[in-house]
């Protein structure tokens, strides 16, 4: 396998090679089917929004730390570019990157439909389409359904119907719950509200797994840690408090499964859809309409980039910007891309907009993030500590959605009563490998997964 460094992140030249190496997820013919099913009846996935395995220490998260030491703890796990919620979750459950899934970000311009698409708490969809229609790949849930297995998943809003997989592949998640987080907790920095949201959803997860028809696959997209990181910083007292809260929830789940007798047949995967990158606090003299990096503002207004491009000798207009820890730009006329990139590549522009690097469409292809009709014409990556935000006085202290290593740092712990591992594992692994891992553990085929199962999992089942 050929690996290369790209902007400090280890990424795979194997984007195209992994399918050749893995052939998708296939059942392990060396182990009798009856033995496999006796050992693993349930796979539970907890996706921790906000990532960062290093924050889950024994002092802060004793339960998760203990489970990690008893299972497989992949300490070099990566959620691939662009490090955001929609692509992170889609990658995880299809076993593919955004080039294949079509899901590059939660908000993008679709040149086929000639409109902005938003897969968020308040969807913007093309007429006659649903959120699920925008996923171009089958999901592991669909493969499980075809194999006669049931599933349930809890995600943060109705847009996450895309987790079902492309409609062409048949029925997906047996029971998908999408309580709308933005309606319940409108302030993204109110992590204690997010904790209450998580507590209610952990109860729903536990009730499903301990009920009379427990699903083979169950999961929850856990929310409070990322909110706490935005409130207090990636490494902060607020983050420690939120991780400790989630650790107690994990213990509650484990205790319930032990009491029901299901724990010994359960594999628990604790991971993340993306990390978060620390942001500098805004200086008190940051002026709302003066958003230059030279002025010291940490939050660069996307509108200022749009205005700058519109003031060129030949004006350049934008049809969409999606801004977080990168500014993804779709132009009204893609033939103006070279001119736009040239204008933003000058030292003066780089200083004004805190630009560290400009990603071209060729970079998106190399990163496995170039879906047809939806790839940005270019993207701006900010200097460390800056981000793109329409509110230049935003008090948040962390953000994600770019190519920073901290945007991509996630836990990857495979544990549970059916697992006997020995703690830390050093290979670089990717969240896309979870889909094939689920299929292998539950003994069904999932040939469309481009990434193989996590190494060592099958041998750790007892």
Which domains are assigned to the chain?
Answer: 3-277+410-460 (3.40.720.10), 293-395 (3.30.1360)
Q: Which of 430, 401, 324, 410 is nearest to 48 (CA)?
A: 410
Query: Which secondary structure element, helix H or strand E, spans residue 323, and what is its range?
Result: strand 318-323
- pLDDT computed for residue 140 by the predictor: 98
Cα–Cα distance list, 414 to 267, 274, 435, 445 (Å): 7, 17, 13, 20
Angle value at C-alpha 84, between 177 and 329, nearest 5 degrees: 125
DSSP assignment letter at 136: -
- pLDDT computed for residue 51 by the predictor: 86
- pLDDT computed for residue 422 by the predictor: 84
pLDDT in tens, 87-100: 999 999 999 999 99
C-alpha–C-alpha distance, residues 132 and 363, integer Å = 27
> What parts of the chain have a pLDDT lower than 50?
1-23, 26-37
Cα–Cα distance list, 274 to 92, 133, 150 (Å): 11, 23, 27
Look up residue 402 and give its two tokens: 């770019």
Specify which residues 107 forms β-bridges with.
118
Q: Which of 182, 193, 189, 186 is nearest to 245 (CA)?
A: 193
C-alpha–C-alpha distance, residues 368 and 9, integer Å = 13
Sign of CA dihedral 200, 139, 368, 372: negative
- pLDDT computed for residue 421 by the predictor: 84
Is 369 in a helix, a strand, or coil? coil
Average pLDDT, the chain: 89
Look up residue 326 and give its two tokens: 């990168």
Q: What is the pTM of this model?
A: 0.91
- pLDDT computed for residue 299 by the predictor: 86
- pLDDT computed for residue 418 by the predictor: 93
Contact 416, 71 (CB under 8 A): yes
């Amino acid at each position: 396998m050929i690996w290369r460094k790209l902007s400090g992140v280890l990424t795979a030249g194997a984007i195209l090679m992994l399918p050749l190496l893995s052939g998708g997820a296939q059942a392990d013919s060396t182990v009798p089917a009856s033995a496999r099913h006796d050992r693993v009846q349930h796979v539970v996935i907890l996706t921790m929004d906000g990532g960062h395995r290093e924050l889950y220490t024994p002092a802060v998260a004793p339960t998760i730390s203990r489970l990690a030491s008893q299972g497989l703890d992949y300490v070099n796990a990566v959620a691939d570019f662009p490090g955001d919620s929609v692509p992170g979750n889609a990658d995880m459950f299809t076993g593919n990157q955004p080039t294949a899934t079509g899901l590059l970000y939660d908000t993008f311009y679709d040149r086929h439909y000639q409109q902005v698409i938003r897969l968020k708490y308040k969807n913007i969809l093309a007429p006659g389409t649903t959120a699920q229609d925008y996923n171009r790949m089958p999901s592991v849930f669909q493969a499980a359904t075809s194999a006669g297995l049931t599933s349930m998943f809890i995600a943060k809003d109705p847009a996450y119907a895309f987790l079902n997989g492309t409609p062409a592949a048949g029925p997906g998640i047996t029971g998908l719950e999408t309580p709308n987080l933005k309606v319940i907790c409108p302030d993204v920095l109110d992590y204690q509200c997010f904790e209450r949201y998580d507590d209610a959803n952990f109860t729903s997860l536990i009730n499903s797994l301990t009920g009379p028809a427990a699903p083979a696959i169950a999961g929850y997209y856990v929310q409070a840690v990322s909110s706490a990181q935005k409130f207090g910083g990636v490494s902060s007292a607020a983050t420690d408090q939120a991780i400790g809260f989630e650790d107690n929830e994990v213990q509650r789940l484990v205790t319930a499964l032990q009491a029901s007798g299901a724990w010994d047949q359960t594999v628990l995967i604790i991971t993340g859809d993306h990390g978060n990158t620390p942001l500098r606090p805004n200086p008190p003299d940051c002026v709302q309409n003066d958003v230059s990096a030279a002025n010291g503002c940490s939050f660069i207004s996307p509108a200022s980039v749009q205005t700058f491009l519109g003031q060129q000798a030949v004006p350049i207009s934008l049809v969409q910007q999606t801004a977080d820890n990168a500014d993804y730009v779709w132009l009204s006329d893609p033939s103006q891309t070279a001119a736009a990139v040239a204008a933003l590549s000058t030292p003066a522009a780089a200083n004004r907009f805190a630009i560290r690097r400009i990603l071209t469409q060729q970079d998106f292809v190399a990163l496995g993030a170039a879906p047809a009709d939806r790839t940005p014409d270019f993207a701006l990556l900010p200097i460390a500590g800056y981000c793109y935000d329409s509110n230049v006085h935003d008090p948040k202290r962390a953000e994600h959605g770019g190519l920073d290593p901290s945007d991509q740092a996630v836990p990857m712990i495979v544990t549970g009563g059916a697992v006997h591992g020995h703690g830390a594992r050093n290979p670089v692994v990717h969240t896309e490998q979870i889909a094939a891992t689920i299929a292998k553990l539950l003994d069904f085929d999932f040939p469309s997964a481009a990434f193989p199962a996590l190494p060592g999992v099958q041998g750790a089942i007892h």
